[in-house]
Structure 1
Amino acid sequence: MDSQLYRAFEDQFRGSEKLISARLQQYENFFIPIASTNPGGSIFDAGCGRGEWIKLMRQYGFDCTGVDENPYMANGSDQPIHIGNALEEIKHLPEESQSIISAFHLLEHLQCGLIISFIENAFKALKPGGILIIEMPNTENIEVAGSSFWLDPSHLRPIPVAFITFLFQEHGFYRYKVLRLQEEKDLHQFDRKITLSDVFFGVSPDVAVVAQKGPEDQPLVKELDVAFNKDYGLSLRDLVNRYDKQREGGFLRRKRLHTAKVIKALLKKYTT
């Protein structure tokens, strides 16, 4: 797919810039403490697309660089975006120079070796206490894994979260957090009935993993304790377990009612 056609594809299927900007605001538990503790810190956004993340981060005072290979992505944008190969440029970032490195919906376009190289170079370029944000389609969502992921012909293969967290551990990150941010809010209500449709389609269609570079005694590590200790979203297993428990609860209620009817009938039979 040529660059101009892919920009049109993104505009139609990725979502509007307003929608994506609103979704990105959900990372505020991570980037606001960094903006406060390290004002004016540097951000490198690999595969920045239309520049929604860059625009948001500039509002919080960060010094931002966005890189994308598609020249049509930056059309009409007043953000600091340039055309290039982010996987090459990250290799040349000064060591321990970046507060945040991000890759939103980039890794699913890459071969395994390039994914490993990107994470390795990101670790080198991050300041102590800095974070790497990786967001990608969520293979726990059955509809995404079986259908919508393959709508983009440049996607190579779905990437399980466990593989990314393994790479983070192997490359020395201090800690990581998995974020699921886009499921329906009422799914979090304890008394919400979980349907089969919820199991198939209710899990967040995107998933992110945020990793932090140590060491543990860095001030920024403590500043992000709240963000890393919080839970974000529901996994497929969470929804399946709730669905099973509700079905089991309904079965037991029906069984108790049936037993009560049988006892009532027997009492009536032998007491008249």
Structure 2
Amino acid sequence: MARERAAGKYGDGIADVPLEVLPPLSRAFDLDGDASRIRFRPELGFSSKPVIGPVITLVKKVLLRLLFFVLDDLAQQSDAAVQRLQSALSAEIAAREAEVAAREAAMAAEIAAREGLQATLGADVGALSQRIAGLAIPERLARLERERRPAPRQAAAPQATDGAAAPTPSVPELDYLVFEERFRPQESVRERQQIYLELLRDRRRVVDLGCGRGELLDALRAGGVSAYGVEIEPDFVALLEEAGIEVVEQDAVEHLAGLEAGAVDGIVVSHVVEHLPAAALVHLIGVAGDKLTDGGVLIVETPNPESLLAGSVNFHRDPTHVRPVHPDTLAFLCESAGFNEIEIRRLSPVPPRHMLPVPAEGDLSRIVMQLNDLLYGYQDYAVIARKPPAQRETTA
């Protein structure tokens, strides 16, 4: 301090006496400690001038002593005001920080709630889209348009006389297009029928009897295979025509019987034979052997009655089903019609999560596995039969 006085930092006037401001006010308003922030320090009134310095110092001290009570009270009031301001600012900062924290927490909760709502809406939209797709609205509108077309006039039916039976009222037909979409979705059928592409890839001409919505025909067309479908359901026919897929609206057995021998080298009969009486089934397999070229392939897919779930539960969901056909029976019919290289492929396994849980070991494990095979065996199967190639004549 003596060096600072010698350097002339302090002047001779009373105005040069500093009012010390302590640092805590500039350090995040720290209120810890009882020290005053502003103090009046008369002991700093000092002059280092030669000769007259002691006189000036004495005068300063006398004047400062006279002004001590006034300036000290002013310093204390200023210090109290600064402390109150500091306390108010600290409280305001704490309140603002708490408000910011509350807003951040509320924002985080709002974001989480909106994300949850978005996920819920996404699931609801997906479920709604599936339900709308299951309604098959375009197909139903197409059916309504066809039904509204004027039908040719017919002679009025004679009125029933006394004692005669009244005419049977018409029964609405099964909406088979919507029925199929509900229980045999198009995408699952398309996926399952991919296994037949390799068998039909190099065929010259393929016919899909009972082609339904044309999943296989669409895949064959994409693979460059010449193929067409035969379908008796008008809604399916209209759907295929709109998609630009070649289709004939006719009974499958009648159409096949009307073909020339060797007209096709690939015949697919997917989920048709379970709709036929026994005689029609035998006739269909026999005609298929006649119409295929030598070396042609016949593919017949149908529900698998070896599984109780497929043969005794799912089979009866379709009211147009007549009877299930056992794999051995269908293979026998193909063999009797002259086919060889007959293969049975069991398809559509039931996911293990739907089966009975198998114990880790012991005889019970073997029994449960056998029971699973009986209850939850393969849901479908396909018989793949090939017509023998032509025999080359040999000369003696």
Same fold at TM > 0.5: yes
Following the alignment from structure 2 to structure 1, what is the Cα–Cα distance between the partners of residues 279 and 172?
A: 24
Amino acid at match of 1:161: P
Structure 2 residue 195 is the aligned partner of structure 1 residue 26: yes
Q: Which has the higher contact order (CA 8 A, sep 6+)?
A: 1
Aligned length: 208
Identity of aligned residues (%): 27
2:268 — aligned with what? 102
Structure 2 residue 291 is the aligned partner of structure 1 residue 125: yes
Which of these residues, 359, 373, 388, is aligned with residue 199 of structure 1? 373
8 Å contact 2:274–2:325 — kept in the other structure?
Answer: yes
Following the alignment from structure 2 to structure 1, what is the Cα–Cα distance between the partners of residues 250 and 218?
A: 19
Q: Could you report, residue by residue, the CA deviation over 1:123-171 in whole angstroms, capped at 9, with x for unpaired residues? A: 1111111100000000011111111101111111111111111111111
1:54 — aligned with what? 217
Which of these residues, 229, 236, 240, is aligned with residue 73 of structure 1? 236
8 Å contact 2:350–2:379 — kept in the other structure?
Answer: no
Query: Which SS does the other structure have where 1:147 is aligned?
Result: helix
1:208 — aligned with what? 382
1:161 — aligned with what? 327
By how many angstroms is 1:60 displaced? 2.1
Query: Which SS does the other structure have where 2:266 is aligned?
Result: strand
1:238 — aligned with what? none
Q: Could you report, residue by residue, the CA deviation over 1:230-262 in whole angstroms, capped at 9, with x for unpaired residues? A: xxxxxxxxxxxxxxxxxxxxxxxxxxxxxxxxx
8 Å contact 1:51–1:81 — kept in the other structure?
Answer: no
Which runs of no fewer than 5 residues in structure 1 stay unpaired? 219-272
8 Å contact 1:139–1:145 — kept in the other structure?
Answer: yes
TM-score, normalisation: structure 2: 0.49
Rg: which structure is higher? 2
8 Å contact 1:4–1:72 — kept in the other structure?
Answer: no
Structure 1 residues 21 and 2 mapped into 2: Cα distance closer, same or farther (>3 Å)? farther
8 Å contact 2:210–2:229 — kept in the other structure?
Answer: yes
TM-score, normalisation: structure 1: 0.69
Query: Which SS does the other structure have where 2:237 is aligned?
Result: coil
Following the alignment from structure 1 to structure 2, what is the Cα–Cα distance between the partners of residues 51 and 61?
A: 15
8 Å contact 1:26–1:181 — kept in the other structure?
Answer: no
Q: Could you report, residue by residue, the CA deviation over 1:80-120 in whole angstroms, capped at 9, with x for unpaired residues? A: 12321111111121211212101100001101111111111
By how many angstroms is 1:70 displaced? 0.5
1:170 — aligned with what? 336
2:316 — aligned with what? 150
Which runs of no fewer than 5 residues in structure 2 stay unpaired? 1-170, 354-359
Q: Could you report, residue by residue, the CA deviation over 1:48-86 in whole angstroms, capped at 9, with x for unpaired residues? A: 111111111112222212111100113433121232111
